[in-house]
Amino acid sequence: MPPTMTATEALVEELQDRPVVNDVVINVATVNGSGSQSANFILLRALFSMGIPVSGKNLFPSNIEGLPTWFTIRANEDGWLAQRARTDVVIAMNARTVAEDVAQVHPGGILIINEALKAHATRDDILTYVVPYGEIVKQVCEDTRLRKKIVNVIYTGVVARLLGIEMDAIDAAIDHQFGGKPKAIKMNRDAAQAGYDWAGENLEAQNRYRVQRSNKTDGKMIIEGNEATAIGMLFGGVTVAAWYPITPSSSVCEYLTGYMEKYRHDAETGKATYAIVQAEDEIASIGMVLGAGWAGARAFTATSGPGISLMSEMTGLSYFAEIPAVIVDVQRMGPSTGLPTRTCQGDIAKTYQLSHGDCKHVLLIPGNVGECYEFAMEALELAEQLQTMIFLMSDLDLGMNKWMADPFNPPSKPIGRGKVLDAKDLERLGGFQRYGDVDGDGIGYRTLPGTPNNKAAYFTRGTGHNAKAEYTEKAADWKTNMDRLSHKFETARKLVPASIVHETDAATVGVLAYGSSDDAVQEARHILQERHGVKTDYIRVRALPYPADVRAFIERHPVVYVVDQNRDAQMATILRGELFDLSGKIRSIRHYDGMPLDADTVVQQLLHQESR
Amino acid sequence: MTEAVLDKPKGQNRIGLLLSDYKGAESTLCAGCGHDAITSSIIKACHELGIEPTGVAKLSGIGCSSKTPNYFLNQAHGINAVHGRMSAIATGSSLANRTLTNIGVSGDGDTASIGLGNFLHMVRRNIRMTYIVENNGCYGLTKGQFSATADKGSLKKGGKEINQNEPVDICALAIQMGCRFVARSFSGDTNQVRNLIKAAMNHNGTAVLDIVSPCVTFNNHEGSTKSVTYARLHEDPLHEVDFIPHFDPITVNYDAGTYTKVEMHDGSLITLKKLAHDYDPSDMDRAMALLHEAAGNGHFYTGLIYCRPDSVPFGEQKNIVDVPLATLPESVTRPSRAVFNQLMASFK
Residue contact B333–A453, C-beta within 8 A: no
Strand-pairing partners, residue A30, are A69
Instruction: Write out chain A residues lying below 8 Å of B100, CB-based.
Output: 295, 449-450
The answer to whether residue B1 neighbours chain A at the CB level (below 8 Å) is no
Q: Coil, helix or strand for B47?
A: helix
Kindly identify which residue of chain B lies nearest to residue A412, measuring between CA atoms: B337
Backbone angles phi, psi at A473, to 5 degrees: -120, 15
> Which A residues 250-279 touch B at CB under 8 Å?
263-264, 266, 269-275, 277, 279
Of A263, A292, A448, the CB nearest to B95: A292
DSSP secondary structure letter of residue A151: H
pLDDT in tens, A441-483: 999 999 999 999 999 999 999 989 999 999 999 999 999 999 9
Of A290, A408, A450, the CB nearest to B100: A450
Q: How far apart are alpha carbons B132 and B109 in whole angstroms?
A: 13
**For the structural domain made of A223-405, what CATH number should be given?**
3.40.50.970
Q: How far apart are alpha carbons B336 and B343 in whole angstroms?
A: 11
Q: Which of B103, B127, B325, B339 to mutate to test the interface with A (most CBs of A within 10 A)?
A: B325
H/E stretch holding B303: strand B300-307
Strand-pairing partners, residue A553, are none
Q: How far apart are alpha carbons A30 and B341 in whole angstroms?
A: 36
Residue contact A297–B340, C-beta within 8 A: no
Nearest-neighbour CA in chain B from A511: distance (Å) = 33
How much is the average pLDDT of A110-117? 97
What was the pLDDT predicted at A490?
Answer: 98
Of A240, A317, A457, the CB nearest to B92: A240
CB B173 within 8 A of CB B305: no
The answer to whether residue A416 neighbours chain B at the CB level (below 8 Å) is no
Distances (CA, A) of A52 to A81, A207, A307, A445, B174: 11, 18, 38, 52, 60
The answer to whether residue A428 neighbours chain B at the CB level (below 8 Å) is no
CA-atom Rg of chain B in angstroms: 21
Domains of chain B: 3-346 (3.40.50.970)
Q: How far apart are alpha carbons A327 and A344 in whole angstroms?
A: 17
pLDDT in tens, A236-281: 999 999 999 999 999 999 999 999 999 999 999 999 999 999 999 9
Under the banding of pLDDT at 50, 70 and 90, the label for residue B252 is: confident
What was the pLDDT predicted at B253?
Answer: 82
The Cβ of residue B253 has, within 10 Å, a number of other Cβ atoms equal to: 7
* Terminal-to-terminal C-alpha distance of chain B: 69
Q: Which of B77, B121, B141 to mutate to test the interface with A (most CBs of A within 10 A)?
A: B77
What was the pLDDT predicted at A565?
Answer: 98
What was the pLDDT predicted at A612?
Answer: 76
| Residue B268 neighbours by CB under 8 Å, 6+ apart | B199, B202, B243, B244, B245, B246
Distances (CA, A) of A19 to A47, A149, A212, A529: 18, 33, 12, 25
Under the banding of pLDDT at 50, 70 and 90, the label for residue B4 is: very low
Q: How far apart are alpha carbons A410 and B336 in whole angstroms?
A: 10
Q: How far apart are alpha carbons B110 and A531 in whole angstroms?
A: 64
Instruction: Write out chain B residues lying below 8 Å of A297, CB-based.
Output: 92, 95-97, 324-326
Kindly identify which residue of chain A lies nearest to residue B86, measuring between CA atoms: A287
The answer to whether residue B57 neighbours chain A at the CB level (below 8 Å) is yes
CB A150 within 8 A of CB A184: no
Under the banding of pLDDT at 50, 70 and 90, the label for residue A6 is: low
The Cβ of residue A410 has, within 10 Å, a number of other Cβ atoms equal to: 11
CB B100 within 8 A of CB B72: no
Of A238, A298, A452, the CB nearest to B54: A452
The residues of chain A that CATH labels 3.40.920.10 are: 7-210
Alpha helices by DSSP H, A96-219:
98-103, 133-140, 144-163, 167-177, 182-202
Strand-pairing partners, residue A510, are A537, A560
What was the pLDDT predicted at A180?
Answer: 84
Under the banding of pLDDT at 50, 70 and 90, the label for residue A506 is: confident
Across chain A, what does the average pLDDT equal?
Answer: 95
CB A396 within 8 A of CB A342: yes
Q: How far apart are alpha carbons B347 and A369 in whole angstroms?
A: 12
The answer to whether residue A89 neighbours chain B at the CB level (below 8 Å) is no
Instruction: Write out chain B residues lying below 8 Å of A235, CB-based.
Output: 334-335, 340
What was the pLDDT predicted at B1?
Answer: 39
Prediction ipTM score: 0.96
**For the structural domain made of A7-210, what CATH number should be given?**
3.40.920.10
Q: How many residue pairs bridge chain A and chain B with CB atoms within 8 Å of each other?
A: 224
Q: How far apart are alpha carbons A394 and A267 in whole angstroms?
A: 34
* CATH entry, A500-610, from 3.40.50.920, 3.40.50.720, 3.60.15.10, 3.40.390.10: 3.40.50.920
Nearest-neighbour CA in chain B from A266: distance (Å) = 8
Edge-to-edge order in the sheet of strand A559-564: A500-502, A536-541, A509-514, A559-564, A586-590
Q: Which of B51, B123, B327 to mutate to test the interface with A (most CBs of A within 10 A)?
A: B327
What was the pLDDT predicted at B3?
Answer: 43
State yes or no: pLDDT of A333 exceeds 50: yes
Nearest-neighbour CA in chain A from B266: distance (Å) = 21
The residues of chain A that CATH labels 3.40.50.920 are: 500-610
CB A349 within 8 A of CB A573: yes
Nearest to A163 by CA among A9, A45, A22, A53: A22
The residues of chain A that CATH labels 3.40.50.970 are: 223-405
Please list, residue by residue across A278-316, b when 16 or more beta carbons sit within 10 angstroms of its beta carbon and e when fewer do. Answer: ebbbbbbbbbbbbbbbbbbbbbbbbbbbbbbebbbbbbb
What was the pLDDT predicted at A193?
Answer: 97
Residue A214 burial class via C-beta count within 10 angstroms: exposed 0-12, middle 13-18, buried 19 and up: middle
> Which B residues 271-330 touch A at CB under 8 Å?
315, 318-322, 324-328, 330
The answer to whether residue B77 neighbours chain A at the CB level (below 8 Å) is yes
Instruction: Write out chain B residues lying below 8 Å of A320, CB-based.
Output: none
The answer to whether residue A313 neighbours chain B at the CB level (below 8 Å) is yes
- Least confident range of A58-72, A201-215, B289-303: A58-72
Which regions of A298-407 does DSSP assign to beta strands (E)? 299-303, 325-331, 362-364, 389-395, 402-405
